[in-house]
A and B are shown apart, each in its own frame.
Chain A
Amino acid sequence: MSSLNQISNSLKDKLENVTDGWQHLWQRARHAITHFTPLANDENDQVSRQVASHWGVLPAEVFENSDALEVQLEAPGMDGDDFQISVNQQALSIKGKRSSSSARTEGRYHVTERAYGSFERTIPLPCRVDDSKAAAKYREGVLCITLPKKSSEQLKRIVVE
């Protein structure tokens, strides 16, 4: 009986480990998995329409220091001009698109893991920001957005009478 109990306990431990691991990964990954919509106007683009993945992983990072938020998004293979960035209340929205260049349409694909098309990611922000002073740069496939925090004087206070 004792050996049976041992087996049952160790199985329980393993299951808890797996569940914990899954929860951890799910928390980390679920927001980064982003849907890519194939570009409708790209008729020659056989890659994005047929074989390419429609789900891509666009991991983000939000870092807070004393006067600003730094948001980084991994989005390789795009043009800096292709991003549309907007701040709405306490969320940052990033739209963009990745097209497979026309030179690549000839030939045969053996492996297609990269996603093509247009995407949108919304990232919640931990505090209010002054979007008029936001700045963005795109380097080595990473989009970096600096959002200065809104100082408390800029917030409109409502006095209770």
Chain B
Amino acid sequence: MSQYLYSPFNGLNQLHRELGRFFEPGLTSSTADDRTITAQADWSPEVDIKETSEGYQLIIDLPGIEPSEVDITVDKNLLSISGSRTTNSESDEKGYKRRERVSGSFLRQFTLSDQADSENIRAKSAHGVLEINIPKHANQSPLNITVES
């Protein structure tokens, strides 16, 4: 899990991220991997990441998306959350007086730390919010390396 270091420009960066969702969907990056997403997805959901002693918790806003339509995959240490949102059929187009919602595919990827136990990831969803719990490995004994003389 990559971390944000303290930065005095946090507020500004936050505004940039939020605006960024509209400028270049997919560029709201929390990991370096995110930057490659622009070409692959139409939008990217907002995320909170929290670490406790037991594990990591990802809270992702996915309004208007059925839990069954969300794809969560782990490839080595890359966690991907993807899916798509469809809106009403295009024939209804002229009935819209206001359209701010973004439709299309979304993708968000995160690099898992070595501590994460990718075998036991659990996800649940309520009110358009997806919660992914990633436990840490129970007892990670530090690797001892003996210096040979």
Which of A's residues lie within 8 Å of B, judged by CB?
25, 28-29, 31-33, 47, 52-53, 55-57, 59-65, 69, 72, 74-79, 104, 106-114, 123, 126, 138, 140-142
7 A/B residue pairs, CB under 8 Å, sorted by A = A29-B19, A57-B18, A74-B64, A113-B47, A114-B46, A141-B64, A141-B128
How distant is the Cα of A52 from the Cα of B47 in the complex, in angstroms?
Answer: 11
* CA–CA, A150 and B22, complex, Å: 35
With a cutoff of 8 Å between Cβ atoms, the chain B residues found around residue A76 in the complex are 61-63, 127-129
Whether A64 and B95, one on each chain, are in contact in the complex, defined by CB atoms closer than 8 angstroms, is yes
Contact of A110 among B46, B51, B95, B126 (CB under 8 A): B51
Known: A110-B49, A113-B48. A63 touches B92 (CB 8 A): yes
Q: How long is the Cα–Cα vector from A108 to B3 in the complex, in angstroms?
A: 11
Select the stretch in B75-83, B98-106, B116-124 that faces chain A. Answer: B98-106
- Name the residue on A nearest B128 (C-beta): A141
CB distance from B129 to the nearest CB of A (A): 4
Q: Give the residues in chain B near A109, CB-CB below 8 Å.
A: 48-51
The answer to whether A141 and B63 touch (CB under 8 A), given A25-B22, A57-B18, A111-B47, is yes
> Whole-angstrom distance from the CB of B145 to the nearest CB of chain A?
29
Q: Judge whether B18 and A55 touch: CB under 8 Å.
A: yes
Q: Tell me if B4 is interfacial: C-beta within 8 Å of chain A.
A: yes
- In this complex, the interface size class of chain B, counting residues with CB under 8 Å from chain A, is 35 or more
Cβ A141 vs Cβ B100 within 8 A: no
Known contacts A53-B14, A60-B98; is-contact A111 B64 (Cβ 8 Å): no
Q: Chain B interface mostly helix, strand, loop or mixed?
A: mixed
B interface with A by C-beta (< 8 Å): 1-4, 14-15, 17-19, 21-23, 28, 30, 46-53, 57, 59, 61-66, 88, 92, 95-102, 126-129
- Chain A hits for B100, CB < 8 A: 28-29, 31-32, 59-61
Using known A-B contacts A53-B18, A79-B127, determine if residue A111 contacts B65 with beta carbons closer than 8 Å: no
User: Which 7 A/B pairs are nearest by Cβ-Cβ distance?
Assistant: A141-B128, A141-B63, A76-B128, A107-B52, A59-B100, A74-B63, A62-B98
Chain A residues within an 8 Å CB radius of B92: 63
CA separation between A78 and B102, bound complex, in Å?
A: 20
Determine the residue in chain A with the shortest Cβ distance to B88.
A63
The interface residues of chain A lying within 8 Å CB-to-CB of B3 are: 110
CB contact between A55 and one of B14, B48, B52 (< 8 Å): that residue: B14
